Chain A
């Protein structure tokens, strides 16, 4: 029989599960569908007699429950009656222990399924909560159902249901047992009115009720089951006393779990226990809400309804998918509506239950909705950057909060200590940006991302490790430099303190590996194609040096390492690298993309040290490397070596925004073919030059500030080259820019000013191109060119110098063109000591001295310049100088236009010389220039003045409209004038006196106000083949013991006589043609006029004049012949001589009234007084 029982049990398990599914489906189907499952069940029943009986019994029970839930009372009653019949039939058909065993088995397996559900609930917190919620709702539903059953027919139905329930519970119990159960139920209902003590008794009664059930079982195992429930009873009571529903739920779950773990057999009672508890609570509520009679009637109904629902819940937990569970929950919620409407307090109870459920949201709900942003921010503030990156990927809200700017700022500053975020926008460039001006939404995070790969040198931090941060700290720079090498050797990036599965670390590792590969690729390209391809990311390690004074660290950089200072405030000032023994930082071959930034570099050699420091520097950059030095402060106390030295082939650094100051030698020394780019540096107060460029070095220097050096600003020498643009070079003690010994720099758009000597100094074969610079306010010349130097000076402004503008001496050469040279204290351009520059297209003006000064054998080609408004001569040529001046415009000077003196020579060709306060050209003291093809006009003095032994050849010039004689020749001067045109003078054409000589050949002298040629005072010129005509006075006058040689001249159409000779003058005349002169003097004499009438203030007729002894006049009071005949008739008169004079009698200066007196016939207001030239200041000065 045992074997038969075992087989039968297995069969029951399978079929029970299927039937369970059917039962679950029924509540959701229409009434019509109810019959279909029953038919199926009937078919099943036909299959086996005993099992069919059991099935029918369960089905009937379920149907009854469903009826109560879905249909009206009468329908429920009808269904109940049908079920009862089925049950009776089953009971009748059943006989003996076999039937009883079958029933027990069925119950056993159903309980087993429930146990499984309980286990699941225990393992999952949410599942447990869900289960508890379902139970709560079922309790509410039961209460509602109980309330609705208030009619007498319902009462009858209740009785039937109670009986049925008892049968189901007990199984094979007899009618008497059923009656006893009903009595027990009634007793329980009755006790609900009594005190809390009675309530506890009720609970005890419930327990006692289970006891008879156990006793009815004949199996010995039943005794063991009885023990199980007994042990669980005490916790059941305690939670009941607890006011907290949550606690109760937890306790219930714990009890279930405990029961499950105790033994499998005890599971049989566990569901029953759970189901019993809600029933106990519901009656209490019912008692409070309804009348005693209703309570009596409702209790059995509730009891009947609860159990099946509980079983269904268990089945649901196990069988139904999530969707259907949701539907059921929703349905039950809907059913609560009518119940609430029926009874207000019941509704309140329901609401309270729902509220209770709502008071327990999950962790997810808290994190998603409940917690305010500030609290989440507070939580995140304890996390590190890698943790935040993980959290940012969890959900949108976490992403928003994890990217908070302040959050990242605090993290960032705890690592890097910067006041502003530092970005690495491109290779070898690190710049601080203000967060509000950054293009990134979170600049601190972005900066962190860019710099995260760096290692840190921060003493005291080496042992610190954080789980969310994979940053390595070191105590020394050397250790930090060694670490990347070890890592590279390992060939894999494994951040210290980070898990292997760390996503962020993996990303960083990939980046690092990629950079390495890039570097290798670049090397390959260089080797194979010799083509420079810069990597997109920094190929070497990144090392941050935190605030501190690092002494004695030996930095020999032969790889692409980047060293960056890290400190609050002024970063560079806080991170100091200092050495005493050797160079502080050395870059050698291999440092192609190395970077040093935001550091202070100091070199402080021991004064007493015997070691030679000539090759030691604060910063030493060798051949074949191109590091970037950025935003550094460089100080050196070495007196024998520069602060920064860049030397060697392919040395090509970038030095930017650095401060190289207060060093005891040169600031920056570039030599030996080195190149490099140097921008925006401050180089100041160094003991020697700010910058040295030597030995074919060719740097690019832009926008540097080079000042207050105690030597030259920039010194290029020994074939130094370079390109210098937009530098500000000022207040240096020697020249701002010095070019020496074959150096050949290009200097563009620089400002060179306030030097304590010159601005630019080019000497000893210096070359160079100086273009578009501003050179001003220097103590000496703006530009010095000397010693065979040959620079190009173009398009510069050279002004306000305390000496000359451009000073070329000592065999200097050079091309000076298109410059604007003005406002200088001395000559705009000075050329001396055999210098021979080319000076073209310049504007030289408003100097406080001469415009161009050529002296001491100075030479030069001076073309197409405009020289004007200078205080002294426009051009000075003196002491053996022989410049060539062509096509210049020399005008508006306050003295002479062009001044030759002290053996000044040279050529003056095709120039325009005009509007000077003195002569256009002066030639004196042995000067012998060639003056050819010029236009000389508008002078407030003569056009050309030759005096004091001046010589010169004047050919083909136009000399006109000058205030005095077009040409003055005096004091033993002996110029040669050929083929000039001298006209429209406001005085004579040529005036020769004081022993002047000269050869005048083939000149046209016409339309002058005075004599065309006046020869006086022991002068002795030679006039050949000149044409002298159309003058307002005599053609040629010779007086004061002067002589002359006149050969083949044509003298015609002059107002006075063609040739007027004073007494005692006996010129040598030969072949002259004198004709058509107007002879106004003779006409006046003939007509009896006083000769004063044809005189003017400056025009003196030549004729006989007398002295009247009777009137006691002197030899100096001339009286004309007609006045003698009329005014002084009968007087004792004396003939003096025939010469130039004006009649004093006619002038009214004598006591005897002139009877012939009359106003002059000419308008004299526009005429000038004929006097000797003023002695010039120039003459006095020299």
Chain B
């Protein structure tokens, strides 16, 4: 147990929920990857749960779901990933608030591809507004 690498990593979100994720997913998360690589360089292995203090369970679960569905897409990752993300958001009946939450989480987790895709989706949402008033009404209700 002390010398072998585990195939799963435990991540704890800021609401105390522990998520057991595949190593390949964990390596997508830049801070986690750095930690894992440091441990390996020092030939250490711990079973500590890695805390993610700025991500909550719902967002992380959603990101895991997205990654699971697109992890095998070596080509057209951006195109298909964006389509998949849109499908998942639609299925969740998510609003722009949720989209912004996962963008913020992706920024914290430094998941570049997911950040590209999610910001692109947000840009499309902004682009659908044809006037300044519409943007304000949709995203800045208290300014109306």
Question: Chain A: residues with CB nearer than 8 A to chain B?
Answer: 125-126, 244, 246, 359-364, 366-368, 370-372, 374-375, 378-384, 387, 390-391, 393-395, 467-468, 499, 501-503
A395 to B135, CA, bound (A): 10
- Pick out which of these stretches binds chain A: B1-9, B30-38, B96-104: B96-104
Contacts of A363 in B (CB 8 A): 95-97, 100, 139
CB–CB B58/A244 < 8 A = yes
Task: Answer whether residue B21 sits at the interface, using C-beta atoms and an 8 A cutoff.
Answer: no
Query: Considering only CB atoms, which chain A residue lies closest to B122 in the complex?
Result: A379
Chain B residues, CB < 8 A from A380: 123
Q: With an 8 A cutoff between CB atoms, is B130 at the interface?
A: yes
Chain B hits for A383, CB < 8 A: 123, 126-127
Distance, CA A609 to CA B115, complexed state (A): 63
If A501-B130, A503-B131, A503-B132 touch, does A371 touch B100 (CB 8 Å cutoff)?
A: yes
B142 and A125 form a contact (CB under 8 A): no
Selected from A246, A371, A387, the residue in CB contact (under 8 A) with B104 is A371
Residues of A within 8 A of B122 (CB): 379
- Output the least CB separation between A121 and chain B (Å): 15
For the complex, give the distance between the alpha carbons of A384 and B131 in Å: 14
* B58 CB, min distance to chain A CBs, angstroms: 7
Interface pair A468/B141, CB less than 8 Å apart:
no
User: How far is the CB of B117 from the nearest CB of chain A, in Å?
Assistant: 10
Whether the Cβ atoms of A390 and B132 lie closer than 8 Å is yes
Cβ contact within 8 Å between A366 and B126: no
Contact A359 B126 (CB under 8 A): no
| A–B complex contacts, Cβ < 8 Å, 7 sampled | A363-B96, A375-B103, A378-B116, A379-B126, A381-B119, A382-B123, A384-B127
- Asked whether B24 is an interface residue with its Cβ less than 8 Å from the other chain, the reply is no
The residues of B that contact A395 with a CB separation of less than 8 Å are 136, 140, 143
Residues of B within 8 A of A244 (CB): 57-58
List 18 extra interface pairs beyond A375-B115, A387-B127, A499-B130, CB under 8 A.
A361-B97, A363-B96, A364-B142, A366-B97, A366-B104, A367-B139, A371-B104, A372-B107, A374-B107, A378-B115, A379-B119, A382-B123, A387-B126, A391-B135, A394-B135, A467-B127, A502-B130, A503-B132
Residue from the list A125, A382, A391 in contact with B120, Cβ < 8 A? A382
In the bound complex, residues from chain A placing their C-beta under 8 Å from that of B129 are 390
Residues of A contacting B104 with CB < 8 Å? 366, 370-371, 375
Closest-by-CB residue of B relative to A246 is: B58
* Bound: A851/B93 CA distance, A: 101
A395 to B126: give the CA distance in the assembly, Å: 14
Interchain CA distance A125-B141 in the complex, whole Å: 11
How many angstroms between the C-alpha atoms of A244 and B135 in the bound complex? 31
How far apart are the CA atoms of A394 and B140 in the complex, in Å?
A: 9
Residues of B within 8 Å of A372, CB to CB, are 107
A470 smallest CB distance to B (angstroms):
13
- A392's closest neighbor in chain B, by CB? B132
Residues of A within 8 A of B74 (CB): none
Complexed CA–CA distance, A1128 and B91 (Å): 156
Q: Tell me the B55-73 residues at the A interface (CB within 8 Å).
A: 56-58
> A244-B58, A378-B119, A394-B135 are contacts. A362–B97 as well, Cβ < 8 Å?
yes
B47 on the A face (CB < 8 A): no
| Residues on B with beta carbons closer than 8 Å to the beta carbon of A368 | 140
Cα distance A380–B104 in the bound complex, in angstroms: 15
Contact with A along B3-41 (1 / 0, CB 8 A): 000000000000000000000000000000000000000
Nearest 7 Cβ contacts at the A-B interface: A382-B123, A366-B100, A378-B119, A393-B132, A363-B97, A379-B119, A363-B96
Residues of B within 8 A of A370 (CB): 100, 104
Q: How far is the CA of A467 from the CA of B129 in the complex (A)?
A: 11
CA distance A372 to B58 in the complex (A): 21
Q: Judge whether B124 is part of the interface by a CB distance below 8 angstroms.
A: yes
- Chain A residues whose CB sits within 8 angstroms of the CB of B139 once the complex forms: 363-364, 367, 394
**CB nearest to A361 among chain B residues:** B97
Question: A467 — nearest CB in chain B belongs to which residue?
Answer: B127
Q: How far is the CA of A269 from the CA of B135 in the complex (A)?
A: 40
Q: Which residue of B has the minimal Cβ distance to A378?
A: B119
B130-A364 in contact (CB<8A): no
Q: In the complex, which of the residues B57, B107, B124, B140 contacts A375, with contact meaning CB atoms closer than 8 Å?
A: B107
**Bound CA span A885–B42, Å:** 104
Q: A366-B101, A367-B140 are in contact. Are A382 and B96 (CB under 8 A)?
A: no
**Residues on the B chain within 8 Å of A379, using CB:** 103, 119, 122-123, 126
Does B127 lie within 8 Å of A364, measured CB to CB? Answer: no
In the complex, which residue of chain B has the Cβ closest to the Cβ of A380?
B123
A390 / chain B contacts, CB cutoff of 8 Å: 129, 131-132, 135
Write the B75-118 contact mask toward A (1 if CB under 8 angstroms, else 0): 00000000000000000000111001101100100000001100
User: Which residues of chain B are near A126, meaning CB under 8 Å?
Assistant: 141
| Residues of the B chain whose Cβ atoms lie less than 8 Å from the Cβ of A393 | 132
Q: How far is the CA of A384 from the CA of B126 in the complex (A)?
A: 11
Query: How far does the alpha carbon of A363 sit from the alpha carbon of B131 in the complex, in Å?
Result: 18
**A467 proximity list for chain B (CB < 8 A):** 127
Task: Looking at the assembled complex, report how far the CB atom of B13 sits from the nearest CB atom of chain A, in whole angstroms.
Answer: 11
**Residue in A244, A361, A379, A393 whose Cβ sees the most chain B Cβ within 10 Å:** A379
A129: nearest chain-B partner, CB-CB: B97
A502 nearest in chain B by CB position:
B130
Please measure, in the bound complex, the distance between the C-alpha atom of A287 and the C-alpha atom of B143, giving whole angstroms.
45
Instruction: Report the bound CA distance from A362 to B100 in whole Å.
Output: 9
Which A residues are in CB contact (< 8 Å) with B95? 125, 363
- Report the separation of the CA atoms of residues A366 and B105 in the bound assembly, to the nearest whole angstrom: 12
A367 x B132 contact (CB < 8 A) = no
B126: A residues at CB distance < 8 A: 379, 383, 387, 391
Contact of B100 among A367, A378, A381 (CB under 8 A): A367
Residues of A near B136 (CB, < 8 A) are: 394-395
| A residues near B132, Cβ cutoff 8 Å | 390, 393-394, 503
Q: A395 vs B141: C-alpha distance in the bound complex, in angstroms?
A: 12
CA–CA, A264 and B44, complex, Å: 66
List of A residues within 8 angstroms of B123 by Cβ: 379-383
Known: A393-B132, A501-B130. A364 touches B119 (CB 8 A): no
List of A residues within 8 angstroms of B57 by Cβ? 244
Q: How far is the CA of A499 from the CA of B116 in the complex (A)?
A: 27
Q: Please give, as numbers and ranges, the residues of chain A lying within 8 Å of B143 by CB-CB distance.
A: 364, 395
Report the bound CA distance from A372 to B124 in whole Å: 19
Q: Are A501 and B58 neighbours in the complex by a CB distance under 8 Å?
A: no
The answer to whether A468 touches B127 (Cβ under 8 A) is yes
Task: Kindly state the separation between the CA atoms of A379 and B125 in the bound complex, as whole angstroms.
Answer: 10
Question: Cβ of A378: which chain B residues have Cβ within 8 Å of it?
Answer: 115-116, 119
CB distance from A763 to the nearest CB of B (A): 72
Q: Judge whether A364 and B58 touch: CB under 8 Å.
A: no
| Chain B residues within 8 Å of A387, by CB | 126-127
**Residue among B57, B120, B130 with the highest chain A CB neighbour number at 10 A:** B130
Of all chain B residues, which has the CB nearest A366?
Answer: B100
B124 touches A382 (CB 8 A): yes
Q: Which residue of A lies closest to B16 (CB)?
A: A243
A371: B residues at CB distance < 8 A: 100, 103-104, 107
Q: How far is the CB of A508 from the nearest CB of chain B, in Å? A: 16
Q: How far is the CA of A394 from the CA of B96 in the complex (A)?
A: 17
Q: How many Å lie between the Cα of A382 and that of B124 in the bound state?
A: 8
Closest chain B CB from A406 CB (angstroms): 16
What A residues does B124 contact at CB under 8 A? 382
* Chain A residues within an 8 Å CB radius of B115: 375, 378
Q: How far is the CA of A383 from the CA of B123 in the complex (A)?
A: 6
When chains A and B are docked, how far (Å) is the Cα of A368 from the Cα of B126? 14
Q: How far is the CA of A371 from the CA of B104 in the complex (A)?
A: 6
The distance in angstroms between the C-alpha atoms of A390 and B130, with both chains bound, is 8
List, in ascending order, chain B residues with CB within 8 A of A364's CB. Answer: 139-143
Looking at the assembled complex, report how far the CB atom of A122 sits from the nearest CB atom of chain B, in whole angstroms: 13
A374 and B104 alpha carbons, distance in the complex (Å): 11
CA distance A409 to B27 in the complex (A): 34
- Greatest chain A CB density within 10 A among B96, B129, B135 is at B135
Shortest Cβ distance from residue B26 to the other chain A in the assembled complex, whole angstroms: 22
Distance, CA A368 to CA B103, complexed state (A): 14
Q: In the assembly, what is the distance between CA of A474 and CA of B92, in Å?
A: 44
Which of A387, A393, A394, A499 has the most C-beta atoms of chain B within 10 angstroms of its own C-beta? A394
